[in-house]
């Protein structure tokens, strides 16, 4: 028996079915436009990919990374995660990009108004004001643990209590440092000068990637032989 034989007859249509059908219809319309515009590229890349760079950004629907930077099909090897908080599978994905696809540039993008980082910042405010003790930070759901991790990433800098932008940058810096320390593939590529890791900031109020000033690009590098990581300003021009 093939799988399709086991499908049951559709039951009575629900409101959720109607919503879902509308949504998929919209998706298919969008896909038709996409196929049309990218026909040649899609055909050329059907069997091989050679991305120019890797990008890591937030899952926020207002920060659609590839659109933000005008990346074509096949240009960006992209990872998107709420608050740029990496887990084992996203680190594995980046290792694939660096180790197998030979990406030489990995660019993290934080974004203004990041809700996930704001939740970590709210936790920081509660702890600093004495409303809760660190041991009382919730850890029940995966989302709780994600927020707690952001709290841990940003708590060392008092500036992060009031500046969400700064907290966004510090949070991603901490994730990049963890990536470099936990991945031999990424760490070696960085040490050997085969990989550049940058952190930039997307301003979702204006649509601009910020290229100068306090929120301009920074570059990750090894500070010393014990493997600690530091960030230095990266001048675009
Ligand atoms: Zn976000």
Do 43 and 53 belong together in one domain? no
Do 115 and 20 belong together in one domain? no
Do 42 and 104 belong together in one domain? no
What angle (nearest 5°) sits at the alpha carbon of residue 186, between those of residues 184 and 187? 60
Report whether 117 contacts 171 (CB < 8 A).
Answer: yes
Rounded Cα gap, residues 159 and 157, in angstroms: 5
Q: How far is the CA of 46 from the centre of ligand 1 (A)?
A: 31
Residue 7 domain-assigned (yes or no): no
- How far from each other are the two terminal CA atoms of the chain, in whole angstroms? 63
What angle (nearest 5°) sits at the alpha carbon of residue 192, between those of residues 150 and 70? 60
Residue 2 domain-assigned (yes or no): no
The whole-model pTM stands at 0.92
**Count of other CB atoms within 10 angstroms of residue 78:** 18
pLDDT, tens only, 223-236: 877 778 999 999 88
Distance, CA of 97 to chain centre:
14
- When pLDDT is cut at 50, 70 and 90, the band that residue 72 belongs to is very high
Do 155 and 79 belong together in one domain? yes
Report whether 77 contacts 50 (CB < 8 A).
Answer: no
Do 136 and 228 belong together in one domain? yes
Q: How far is the CA of 65 from the centre of ligand 1 (A)?
A: 11
Residue 6 domain-assigned (yes or no): no
Rounded Cα gap, residues 91 and 143, in angstroms: 19
Q: How far is the CA of 161 from the centre of ligand 1 (A)?
A: 17
* 71's tokens: 């990346």
Q: How far is the CA of 194 from the centre of ligand 1 (A)?
A: 29
Residue 227 domain-assigned (yes or no): yes
Do 39 and 137 belong together in one domain? no
Q: How far is the CA of 90 from the centre of ligand 1 (A)?
A: 16
Residue 104 domain-assigned (yes or no): yes
What is the mean pLDDT of the segment spanning 186-205? 97
What is the mean pLDDT of the segment spanning 198-214? 95
What is the mean pLDDT of the segment spanning 114-121? 98
DSSP labels for 184-216?
A: HHHHHHHHTTS-EEEEEEEETTTTEEE-SSTTS
How many structural domains comprise the chain? 2
Residue 1 domain-assigned (yes or no): no
Do 36 and 103 belong together in one domain? no
Do 162 and 186 belong together in one domain? yes
Q: How far is the CA of 6 from the centre of ligand 1 (A)?
A: 41
Do 91 and 26 belong together in one domain? no
Q: How far is the CA of 126 from the centre of ligand 1 (A)?
A: 21
pLDDT of residue 165: 98
Q: How far is the CA of 186 from the centre of ligand 1 (A)?
A: 24
What is the mean pLDDT of the segment spanning 90-98? 98
Q: How far is the CA of 159 from the centre of ligand 1 (A)?
A: 19
Q: How far is the CA of 89 from the centre of ligand 1 (A)?
A: 19
Domain that holds residue 28: 14-47
Q: How far is the CA of 44 from the centre of ligand 1 (A)?
A: 33
Do 114 and 222 belong together in one domain? yes
Do 30 and 63 belong together in one domain? no
Q: How far is the CA of 11 from the centre of ligand 1 (A)?
A: 38
Q: How far is the CA of 197 from the centre of ligand 1 (A)?
A: 19
Residue 4 domain-assigned (yes or no): no
Bigger pLDDT: 14 vs 74: 74
Q: How far is the CA of 83 from the centre of ligand 1 (A)?
A: 5
Residue 182 domain-assigned (yes or no): yes
Q: What is the pLDDT of the chain when averaged over all its residues?
A: 95
Q: How far is the CA of 80 from the centre of ligand 1 (A)?
A: 10
pLDDT of residue 200: 97
φ, ψ for residue 94 (rounded to 5)?
-65, -40
- When pLDDT is cut at 50, 70 and 90, the band that residue 14 belongs to is confident
Do 102 and 37 belong together in one domain? no
């Amino acid at each position: 028996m093939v799988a399709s034989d086991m499908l049951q007859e559709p039951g009575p249509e629900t409101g959720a079915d109607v919503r879902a059908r509308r949504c998929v219809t919209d998706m298919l319309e969008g896909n038709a436009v996409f196929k049309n515009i990218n026909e040649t590229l899609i055909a050329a890349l059907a069997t091989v990919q050679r991305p120019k760079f890797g990008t890591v950004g937030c899952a926020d629907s207002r920060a659609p990374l590839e659109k933000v930077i005008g990346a074509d099909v096949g240009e960006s090897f992209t990872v998107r995660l709420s608050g740029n908080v990496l887990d084992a599978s996203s680190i594995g994905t980046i290792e694939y990009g660096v180790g197998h696809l030979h990406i030489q540039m990995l660019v993290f993008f934080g974004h203004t108004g990041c809700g996930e980082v704001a939740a970590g910042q709210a936790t920081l405010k509660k702890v600093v004001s004495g409303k809760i003790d660190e041991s009382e930070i919730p850890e029940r759901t995966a989302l709780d643990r994600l927020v707690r991790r952001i709290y841990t990433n940003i708590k060392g800098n008092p500036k992060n209590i009031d500046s969400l932008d700064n907290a966004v940058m510090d949070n991603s810096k901490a994730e990049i440092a963890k990536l470099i320390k936990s991945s031999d593939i990424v760490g070696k590529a960085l040490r050997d000068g085969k990989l550049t890791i940058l952190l930039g900031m997307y301003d979702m109020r204006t649509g601009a990637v910020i290229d100068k000033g306090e929120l301009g690009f920074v570059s990750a590098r090894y500070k010393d032989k014990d493997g600690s990581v530091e960030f230095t300003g990266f001048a675009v021009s």
